[in-house]
Amino acid sequence: MGDIDYETADFWLSFSGQTYYRVRLRAGTQYGTLIESGTVGNLGFNIRDWVAISYALGILVAVATHPELPDRTSILYFFTDTKQWQVVTTFDYPSSSGWSAMYGSNNGFLYATDAQTGQILEFPVDGAGG
């Protein structure tokens, strides 16, 4: 999973939200260089993608499921400064096989694809990042 941070123009990659890699994409010094990487606890969530949203600087947003909450879907924020996940809200909406591709927008919503049905749902993230 990966997306480009609006603030820094860096490409953030991850494997299941448990690792992170930051690649410099801004033209000039260090272009294409891995400038940061590490591991982080993903709170046990099944995270398949994350997305940057233009008004949520310093945050990557994920829609995910948790094995202990099979009938619920949560929105999580990954803070790029602290490298920590935070559960923001949870909805009474199941996804039996998790959420795959996610799409950011500047209208207060993000869109996530149900990995099993292919249905794209809209999730509110208005006010992300404060």
Q: Which residues contact 33 (CB under 8 A, 6 or more apart)?
A: 23, 24
Q: What is the pTM of this model?
A: 0.91
Q: What CATH number is attached to the domain comprising 19?
A: 2.130.10.10
Cα 130 from chain centre: 17
Question: Which of residues 11 and 8 earns the better pLDDT score?
Answer: 11
Query: Do residues 49 and 60 touch, judged by C-beta distance below 8 A?
Result: no
Domain contains 130 = no
Would you say residue 102 lies in a domain? yes
Q: What residues form DSSP beta bridges with 114?
A: 99
| Tally of CB atoms within 10 A around 76 | 23
Domain count, the chain: 1
**What is residue 29's three-state secondary structure?**
coil
Domain that holds residue 87: 2-124
Q: 38-88 pLDDT, tens per residue?
A: 999 999 999 999 999 888 889 999 999 999 988 899 999 999 999 999 999
